Amino acid sequence: MSIHTACIDACFDLAMESRGEGGLPIGSVLARGDKIIGRGHNRRVQQGNPILHGEMDALRDAGRQESYRDTVLYTSLSPCMMCAGTIVQFKIPRVVICENLNFGGNEQFLIERGVTVEVLNEQRFVDMMARFIEEQPALWDEDIAE
């Protein structure tokens, strides 16, 4: 299995783990070369922390890095502006977004700042997020500050 496939599958598994804990189904991993160095999922609900999105949790799990310029961030859902800003701040050069149909809009922000963005729109991610939004609209609105 390629690292790319392993990272995508990990994002899905982490999203499902978060959903199982009563949180939002958003997972993320940070990879360097052929190794995942950080894993995370949205823990806003579980830890009562408004900024603990999946991408932030993966970066927290990776710990301090001398540089992020040789990493790839994978995320099950398009990053919000807070997470997109963090990607730019740490100069993460590439982001793989598993789906951006249920939530998107910051891809251009990333691209304009030199980040390579790949959007997959894999159906399992699209369906998972759509189901969550339908079942938990208030929690979803809270997460995106609606």
* C-alpha to C-alpha distance for 11 and 16, rounded to whole angstroms: 9
Q: Looking at 21, 55, 107, 118, which residue is catalytic? A: 55
Active site residue 55: yes
Paired tokens of 28:
């993320």
Residue the block writes with tokens 């369906």: 127
3-class SS of residue 64: coil
Distances (CA, A) of 5 to 14, 70, 120, 143: 14, 18, 12, 28
| Catalytic (active-site) positions | 55
